[in-house]
Amino acid sequence: MAESPTILVIGPRWVGDMVMAQCLFSALKELHPNAAIDVLAPAWAAPLVKRMPEIRQQIDFPLTPGALEFTHRRRFGRLLRGRYDMAYVLPGSWKSALIPFFARIPRRFGHLREMRYGLLTDIVPLPDAVKRRTAQAYFSLAKGGSFRAPHLTVDASNQAALLDRFGLAPQKFAALMPGAEFGPAKRWPSESYAGLAREFMGKGLKVALFGSKNDREVTAEIAALAPGTVDLAGQTRLEDAIDLIAAARLAVSNDSGLMHVAAGVGTPVVAVYGSTSPENTPPLAERRELVWLHLSCSPCHQKVCPLGHLNCLKTLQVGQVAAAADRLLEMPAAT
């Protein structure tokens, strides 16, 4: 193995998974300090990957979600021939291993998943206990090194400009992330978030709502029910959200990508779980509170409640989440 190997990582397609992938990146850098690590990922990931010092560059590879696009992958893989010594395939699909195979990368690491014999040269065992624990599963591909929680860098100048633009002060506001791209079975109801927002504002904290343009309907509902909140959904780039959330006193989030971003920048997090489990994908933060009702039907890991009642989230009271937030607020603010 070269002293300075070039490594290609086939990255995940979700924000939270990309944040958790840094557990692998840091382990690879520990094992190969002089390695050049590139990540093949959709264009949206570029600003996130730039906040990970382990990564040299993000390589954009546009694909239609769910599509095989065999010819496209083969052509792209051939363009990468001779560039890399090692590849790590994070997604579990058969098609995700095609590009490193066509690139003829000598060593190709991944979990077996969809019977990827031949496509991978190094199949890493994945114990049942780790299958849904995304960060640990990614880390296991390194086959060594230390497990470290994600740590995203913050652009102080961009942060200051954004705080001024939106009328926010460092450590004087709560960041609420009420969306979840996965589906409604991960979303605590809008009226509950609004009740929590009113609680925070009653204690002198401003409240900022974060999300993508797809979350605007949800954040608009919350803003209407809790006048005075600052609705930023769809108004910030991913890198802006990173910098603003880093300035928050605390964050409250569903199990979502922005929850992992908040943990990655060191902001205390209250994580609300419904159809998923905090045992599998918790925010990897030192200061966190995990709120989950432990119902017999949860976790179901479904996008939509299969029983039609969504009790795992609808019966979760504002007071329970507010109490978890209070425990974090009692901790000294970061300096």
157-329, CATH topology level: Rossmann fold (3.40.50)
* Tokens (6 digits) for 232: 């930023």
Average pLDDT of the residues in 285-301:
92
Q: Is the predicted pLDDT of residue 179 greater than 90, yes or no?
A: no
**Non-local CB neighbours of 294 within 8 Å, separated by 6+ positions:** none
Cβ proximity of 227 and 209 under 8 Å: no
Q: In the prediction, which pLDDT does 3 show?
A: 74
Q: Is the predicted pLDDT of residue 168 greater than 80, yes or no?
A: yes
Q: Is the predicted pLDDT of residue 300 greater than 70, yes or no?
A: yes
Cβ proximity of 95 and 110 under 8 Å: no
DSSP symbols for 200-244: HHHTT-EEEE---GGGHHHHHHHHHHSTT-EE-TTTS-HHHHHHH
Q: Smallest Cα–Cα separation from 96: which of 88, 105, 85?
A: 88
3-state DSSP call for residue 100?
Answer: helix
Average pLDDT over the chain reads 94
Q: How far apart are CA 140 and CA 88, in angstroms?
A: 11
Q: Among the listed ranges 87-101, 132-146, 302-316, which one has the minimum average pLDDT value? A: 302-316
Cβ proximity of 236 and 162 under 8 Å: yes
Average pLDDT of the residues in 84-113:
96
Q: In the prediction, which pLDDT does 314 show?
A: 92
What pTM, to 2 d.p., does this model score? Answer: 0.94
Average pLDDT of the residues in 145-162:
98
Q: Among the listed ranges 59-63, 185-189, 275-279, 311-315, which one has the minimum average pLDDT value? A: 59-63
Average pLDDT of the residues in 146-157:
98
Q: Is the predicted pLDDT of residue 64 greater than 80, yes or no?
A: no
Q: How far apart are CA 204 and CA 249, in angstroms?
A: 12
Average pLDDT of the residues in 308-329:
94
* Tokens (6 digits) for 319: 């007071």
What are the structural domain ranges in the chain?
Answer: 6-140, 157-329
Instruction: Give percent of the chain above pLDDT 70.
Output: 98
Cβ proximity of 198 and 176 under 8 Å: no
Helix (H) / strand (E) element for 17: namely helix 15-20
Q: Angle 269-271-273 (CA atoms, 0-180°, nearest 5)?
A: 175
Q: Is the predicted pLDDT of residue 249 greater than 60, yes or no?
A: yes
Q: In the prediction, which pLDDT does 262 show?
A: 98
pLDDT in tens, 208-243: 999 999 999 999 999 999 999 999 999 999 999 999
Cβ proximity of 49 and 127 under 8 Å: no
Q: Is the predicted pLDDT of residue 66 greater than 90, yes or no?
A: no
6-140, CATH topology level: Rossmann fold (3.40.50)
Q: How far apart are CA 21 and CA 135, in angstroms?
A: 6
Q: Is the predicted pLDDT of residue 178 greater than 60, yes or no?
A: yes
